[in-house]
Amino acid sequence: MPVIIPNQKGILNMKVFLEKRELEFKDGVTLEAVIGPREIKRIGGIIVNGKSVPLEQVGTYLLHEGDRIHTIRFIAGG
């Protein structure tokens, strides 16, 4: 579950979209903060605004107003 990070005044001023959910964060939030460090380990890939983001960059990848994030998860079956 994403962690909502308020800015210093407690005001959330940037909207991003994770899958179909609209979330609000402070400016300068990283992709890892939005998705959550534990969830990153379960994800096979991340797409932001139609472009793939290497998993090694999620901790430093800064999001911007209106970014659309999609995750790719591996499903195993037998």
Whether the per-residue pLDDT at 6 is higher than 70: the answer is no
Q: Judge if pTM exceeds 0.85.
A: no
Per-residue pLDDT reduced to its tens digit, 9-57: 556 689 999 998 999 988 889 999 999 877 877 888 999 999 999 989 9
Pick the CATH number of 14-73 from 3.30.830.10, 3.10.20.30, 3.40.50.300, 3.40.50.970: 3.10.20.30
For the chain, what is the radius of gyration of the CA atoms?
13
